[in-house]
Structure 1
Amino acid sequence: MKTADLYIRVSTDEQADKGYSQRDQEERLKRYCHYSGIQVRHVIFEDFSAKSFKRPAWQNLLITLKKQPNKTQFVLFTKWDRFSRNAGDAYQMINILKHLNVEPQAIEQPLDLSIPENKIMLAVYLASPEVENDRRALNTFNGMRRAVKEGRLMGCAPKGYLNKITEDGRKYIAVDQTLAPIIKAAFEEIARGRYTVSDIWRKAVDDGLNCAQNSFWKMIHNPVYCGRILVKAYKDEPEQIVEGKHEAIVSVTTFNKIQELINGKSASRTTFVASDEIPLRGFLICPLCGRHLTASASKSKTGRRYHYYHCYKKCTFRHRADHTNELFVQQLSRYIVNTSAAEVFRKKVEREFAKPSAGNHKSEIQTLSAQVAEANEKIKKARESYLSGAFDEVDFKEVKLSNEKKVLHLEDRIFELLRNRETVDHNKMIDNILRLFNRLVEYYKFMGSEGKRDLLSSMYPEKIVFDGAEVRTPRINEVVARMYQINSGLDVKKERLSEKKSRQPLKVTPQGLLTQTKAKKGKIKNIDL
């Protein structure tokens, strides 16, 4: 009595509507074996695509046939598309089964493969499902490409967005209110160009972004985050960027600025991120050799970590970070603005903002508009050259595509400048500045490491000298210096009169500042005057 293994395969639930359900196939195969006098050995159920034979259940069946030869004579299935939807793979698998003395057979499309003419019908049976698959795939691809051109993002939403479905069943992506602020802050920080992408990625991960560094790099190159979608080149269609129907997380200007920084078209100066225990790292100068002090942590026997500002290996200078930070806070406590100085500062700033040119981007907009006109003129000339035969089609498309991208970039910048021309509340801004100066120490203690470093960079254009006992700086920011000169002029007018009568040279450095002179051995000598 002949023996057969029954192979039952479905790939989607929709096939049940076409009579391809597993129960229906099993019933028809067993009925055929009953009337044909064939004994059923195994029934194999498969829920996998037939594009290839890399299917779990089929691979297990093949291993069984090789381990137990001559135990079965047939592998039965209902139709040849249940066996395979790839003609090339199907012919190869038929040869493998032939060497194992096993004959594959479709009970509803029976063929005697020993007859050469039947191979023509076999080719038809095997090619038909493959053609059907290819047509379905092509229709799906064209539909998805058309949707992308219309501004709809297909597939899984990127980080910062969520896949949603409307009441009528239409799919779209919406902003994830949890991750979007983190991603927006990361993009804006990269656009400033102060820190490396790796440092900003670590900060975003600490804030709650679950993302690998490679994925983060792909993220900052993805135009989806600025409200646009990339349509890849296909056949004769060039690559293009279209407006998306989803909400943008960052502005187009920010995204373009990042691309310029990454591609090296815009100069940037990055720095490192210091921890909260060592905010002065990179701002201090060694009093012994004049090099910048770095910082690190040392672990005690009890496991506690102590942070130190120190010089490099060849220099021995080293000091506790907490003590140095406290001395610097004492230095900041000197900067307090009184009411009279604040009013003088307010009037001065208000006069500056009252000038017609203050905050006006008119000249920059005019420059950008001229560049747009120049790019459009290049496209026009390229089109004329193409029509006259001076340019071939490839050269024309290249010139047209590059200038269209340039025009799009420039128009986005113009739009951003026009949007930022809204009236600014100058009084509120001045109040915030004065509040910061009046409560400088309090704000400094409340800030994180990044905020402290921003404050230091804005106040001190030169490095700070620390000799182990005192924190000093040769010069402060010109705006801050002028403000406190106003303060000094209002408070100590009488003392200035006495200073004018002093016989001391006018060029003597005021007491409390540090002058640096070179010693014979290249070390900086500190002279406290």
Structure 2
Amino acid sequence: MMDSMKGKNGSSKAVIYCRVSDTKQTTRGTGLHSQETRCREYASFRGHDVVQVFADDASGGLINRPGMQAMLSFLRQNRRQPHVVIIDDISRLARGIQAHLELRAAISKAGGILESPTLEFGEDSDSQLIENLLASVSQHQRQKNGEQTLNRMRARALNGYWVFHAPVGYKYERVSGQGKVLLPDEPCASILREALEGYACERFSTQAEVKRFLEAQPEFPKTPRGEVTNQRVNDFLTQPLYAGYLELPKWDVSFRPAKHEGLISLETFKTIQNRLNGTARVPARKDISQDFPLRGFVLCGCCGTPLTANWSKGKAAHYPYYLCRQKDCAAKGKSIRRELVEEEFEALLKALRPSAELFEWASSLFRDLWEQRAKTMKEQGKSVKAELSQIERKIAQLMDRLMEADSESVIRAYEKRIGDLETDRMIIRERIEKCGTPLATYEETFEHSMTFLANPWKIWENGSIEHRQTVLKLAFADQLAYDRESGFRTPEISLPFKMLEDICSGNLEMAHPRGFEPLASAFGAGLMAFPNCATEYARAR
């Protein structure tokens, strides 16, 4: 056999097999290089001519490794000239007794002869006993390392640290005394915060709308097809990490505060869960597009059914139309030119724009209310603390009852109730910590709101389909009915614009210092009505 292994120069042909456990060891360490060096030194000592080196970065418990399969293929192709297979240590071949035996047999069947600088392989019973014992020890070490790693990861999770891959919106950075900690990863963090808060406040009515919003953000990670999957959207909405908390039921790690900064508050997260567990909503229409932004929002004036839309083929081009397709409707199939409907709608939207004086007055009023609210927030801390004490008493009472309960169903009910109260307690503690400290300035809080109130038409004109859908929800309290003959019927506008409309109409009176009795001459009957809201408000101040 040894004669058939000799090369032209009299040396034996050999291949080297090296293995490390994962990819990091190939990029951050020198494990593969060190193994190859020792194997080459051994080959030189034994007079072997190394013709090729094979390497893997995979667990020793696996058999189907690319490097191993490539080596076996090479040995089979050169079966007429058997090669020595050199491994640095028995654990490099495998870290499991079953995997070791299978690979040992596969190498032998392919014509390879196993050798190592740390162990002499043989076919006698004593050599095989030692080999199998060492393979068993290697398997035990792998299993023990796995148990220790798992225990360390669980202990770190118990201390509030996330121990898996950083979720979208976060990245790992080393913090002195804490190791790797999750930190917001911009711009994904801000995009995800807007999506989560938008779903909580019903800016996005369904998960489909959240999906559409995320897909419209160029910086947000997507699949190769440019999509954000429905499952991923649901994962975002149900992941407590984004609220600064973590929970790992499989490891018996209960819901607890985490060591990283949340993108949203716990109260917002709970609102999202309540929405997810509440009544199912009608899915967002897939046929709403930039071509027909009013599809589904404008109703037929005859039957009250939402109008659909389509492109109709003419002699020279395609033309866009809105139309009703409801059975038994007098207007069924009668197309309405898109430009006619949308021009009238845009006129309605432009009419919602308040005057500069009225807008300035409203902005000043909102600022006064904001400052007044900020002053009273600290006083509310007492009532919040009282609510916290009440919840803690309920938890204590339920714990006492739980200790005395015998029925499994009763125990589960108590545990669920205690879990809900624990969450409420965390929310209240979060409120207490932030009590008296606004999350943002007045400008940051009302910037988008005031921009919308100042001119909703501007957002409609320049916005995406998602922004246009938001304008429809915020500007109008209900859908709009459109009649083919008379156009749009009187719209039901939303509360903010309705209030501004009432103010402009002069339906306000100055309250007399003594009450709502007939005005004294000293107060001035000339100020009963507000012909100009902004001017009168300035005088009153």
Tell me the TM-score normalised to structure 1 length: 0.72
Instruction: Tell whether the 8 Å contact from 2:305 to 2:324 is kept in structure 1 after alignment.
Output: yes
Distance in 2, matches of 1:414 and 1:266, equals: 26
Summarize the Cα distance change of 1:454–1:10 in structure 2 as closer, same or farther, 3 Å threshold. Answer: closer
Distance in 2, matches of 1:57 and 1:160, equals: 36
Partner of 1:382: helix, strand, or coil? helix
Distance in 2, matches of 1:2 and 1:417, equals: 81
Distance in 2, matches of 1:434 and 1:137, equals: 56
Aligned-residue offset at 1:17: 8.0
Aligned-residue offset at 1:22: 0.9
Partner of 1:381: helix, strand, or coil? helix
Partner of 2:172: helix, strand, or coil? strand
Q: Give the counterpart of 1:316 among 303, 309, 333.
A: 333
Query: Which residue of 2 is the match for residue 119 of structure 1?
Result: 128
Deviations along 1:411-462, one digit per CA (max 9) or x if unpaired, are 2443566657879999999999999777565666566655555555456545
Deviations along 1:10-34, one digit per CA (max 9) or x if unpaired, are 42469868994312211212312x3
2:344 maps to amino acid: L
Summarize the Cα distance change of 1:318–1:94 in structure 2 as closer, same or farther, 3 Å threshold. Answer: same
Gapped runs of 5+ residues in structure 1? 492-529
Query: Which residue of 2 is the match for residue 250 of structure 1?
Result: 264
1:7 maps to amino acid: I
Distance in 2, matches of 1:292 and 1:51, equals: 61
Q: Does 2:416 align with 1:402? A: yes
1:51 maps to amino acid: G
Q: Does 2:443 align with 1:466? A: no
Q: Does 2:246 align with 1:229? A: yes
1:383 maps to amino acid: M
Deviations along 1:213-261, one digit per CA (max 9) or x if unpaired, are 1333322222211112223433xxx341232211111121222222222
Query: Which residue of 1 is the match for residue 403 of structure 2?
Result: 383
Partner of 2:125: helix, strand, or coil? coil
2:399 maps to amino acid: I
Gapped runs of 5+ residues in structure 2? 6-12, 223-227, 509-541
Aligned-residue offset at 1:210: 1.9
Distance in 1, matches of 2:453 and 2:436, equals: 28
Query: Which residue of 1 is the match for residue 221 of structure 2?
Result: 210
Distance in 2, matches of 1:328 and 1:210, equals: 36
Query: Which residue of 1 is the match for residue 346 of structure 2?
Result: 329
Q: Does 2:278 align with 1:265? A: yes
Partner of 1:63: helix, strand, or coil? helix
1:242 maps to amino acid: R
Summarize the Cα distance change of 1:152–1:300 in structure 2 as closer, same or farther, 3 Å threshold. Answer: farther
Aligned-residue offset at 1:276: 4.9
Q: 179-188 or 346-355: which moved more?
A: 346-355
Distance in 1, matches of 2:386 and 2:395, equals: 14
Summarize the Cα distance change of 1:102–1:352 in structure 2 as closer, same or farther, 3 Å threshold. Answer: closer
Partner of 1:216: helix, strand, or coil? helix
Q: Give the counterpart of 1:110 among 92, 103, 120.
A: 120
Distance in 1, matches of 2:178 and 2:506, equals: 72
Tell me the TM-score normalised to structure 2 length: 0.70
1:154 maps to amino acid: V
Query: Which residue of 1 is the match for residue 8 of structure 2?
Result: none
Distance in 2, matches of 1:404 and 1:116, equals: 62
Query: Which residue of 1 is the match for residue 66 of structure 2?
Result: 56
Partner of 1:117: helix, strand, or coil? helix
Distance in 2, matches of 1:58 and 1:340, equals: 79
Q: Does 2:150 align with 1:141? A: yes
Instruction: Tell whether the 8 Å contact from 2:43 to 2:50 is kept in structure 1 after alignment.
Output: no
Q: Does 2:186 align with 1:177? A: yes
Q: Give the counterpart of 1:284 among 286, 292, 298.
A: 298
Within-5 A mapping of 1:350-365: none
Deviations along 1:188-212, one digit per CA (max 9) or x if unpaired, are 1222344221222122121221233
CA RMSD of aligned residues (A): 4.7
Partner of 1:26: helix, strand, or coil? helix
Summarize the Cα distance change of 1:65–1:301 in structure 2 as closer, same or farther, 3 Å threshold. Answer: farther
Partner of 1:374: helix, strand, or coil? helix
Instruction: Tell whether the 8 Å contact from 1:382 to 1:399 is kept in structure 2 after alignment.
Output: no
Summarize the Cα distance change of 1:172–1:6 in structure 2 as closer, same or farther, 3 Å threshold. Answer: same
Aligned-residue offset at 1:184: 0.8
Q: 210-219 or 371-380: which moved more?
A: 371-380
Instruction: Tell whether the 8 Å contact from 1:46 to 1:58 is kept in structure 2 after alignment.
Output: yes
Distance in 2, matches of 1:323 and 1:217, equals: 40
Partner of 1:233: helix, strand, or coil? helix
Aligned-residue offset at 1:186: 0.8
Within-5 A mapping of 1:407-426: 407-415=421-429, 419=434
Query: Runs of 4+ in structure 1 displaced over 6 angstroms?
Result: 299-303, 336-355, 358-369, 420-438
Aligned-residue offset at 1:187: 0.7
Q: Give the counterpart of 1:21 among 35, 60, 67.
A: 35
